[in-house]
Amino acid sequence: MTQRNLILLATAGSAGLLVGAWIFQLFGYPPCKLCLWQRWPHAAAVLIGALALWRPVAFLPLAGAAAALMTGAVGVYHTGVERNWWEGPDTCTSGDVSGLSASELMDQILTAPLIQCDVVAWDLFGVSMASWNSILSFGLVMIWIAAFKRT
């Protein structure tokens, strides 16, 4: 496969994952904060891919690989939050409520985001959207690296 085809495939992969996320959103699965964090590197990868297709520069496939690696890493972090392996950001997880007074608990409830990062909204074969993003993004990393090797 040529470098151009590999770049096109990796770019289309990130674009497809973004479109898929937007389709899920249209079907009533609004994104949490960590879901949104996973979208930005895909958007960067699409822009990097477009630039690399328009004006090939040797380092651009590595930049695309870095973007795909970043979204995959955020997906792993999000998966850990969903599975309660570690705590997520205070702004999008239910957190520990022990030791809170009634008024503090009420304040936490009233200021809590509607979409919690530590709740799996959808899964396929027991694998959440965050986990699927990681798996597919790490595959995109390999495609970007293969494109770089053809420089």
Range of the domain at 80: 3-88+99-149
CATH number at residue 141: 1.20.1550
Query: Does 118 map to a domain?
Result: yes
Whole-model pTM: value is: 0.83
**What is the per-residue pLDDT across 1-59, written as a single tens digit (0 to 9) for each?**
999 999 999 999 999 999 999 999 999 999 999 999 999 999 999 999 999 999 989 89
CB atoms within 10 A of CB 105: 12
**What is the per-residue pLDDT across 92-136, written as a single tens digit (0 to 9) for each?**
765 555 676 777 767 766 665 567 888 888 889 999 999 999 999
User: Measured between alpha carbons, how far is 142 from 144 in angstroms, rounded to an integer?
Assistant: 5
- 135, 79 in Cβ contact below 8 A? no
Total domains in the chain come to 1
